[in-house]
């Protein structure tokens, strides 16, 4: 669990409570050692108590606002959970903070 990442997500100035919750859940999944954050949409939607399309809209909004960068992950031509990189709009990457 990325406690340091969650504290930064709490301070993030996002547009609404749904975006804040998604950002917090992504931060919760950031590994302090590997800096990886790759929960599935299904898991995030369950944790945030929202539908998949609502979750995807919030993720897209966070990408547009500069808080999240998404990398699609494929292995053996099968899509795996996306990899998420949490960022500040100023360009400072949350995942580069020292534990």
Q: What angle do CA 96, 97, 99 make, to 5 degrees?
A: 120
Neighbouring C-beta atoms of residue 86, cutoff 10 Å: 24
pLDDT tens, 21-33? 999 999 999 877 6
Higher-pLDDT residue of 90, 43: 43
| In contact, 68 and 26? CB cutoff 8 Å | yes
pLDDT tens, 63-81? 999 899 898 888 888 878 8
Does the structure show a pLDDT above 60 at 88? no
């Amino acid at each position: 669990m990325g406690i340091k990442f969650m504290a930064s997500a709490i301070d993030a100035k996002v547009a609404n409570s749904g975006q804040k919750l998604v950002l917090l859940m992504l931060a919760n999944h950031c590994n302090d050692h590997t800096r990886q954050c790759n929960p599935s949409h299904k898991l995030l939607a369950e944790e945030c108590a929202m539908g998949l399309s609502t979750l995807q809209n919030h993720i897209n909004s966070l990408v547009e606002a500069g808080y999240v960068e998404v990398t699609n992950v494929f292995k053996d031509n099968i899509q795996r959970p996306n990899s998420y990189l949490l960022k500040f709009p100023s360009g400072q990457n949350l995942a580069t903070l020292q534990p």
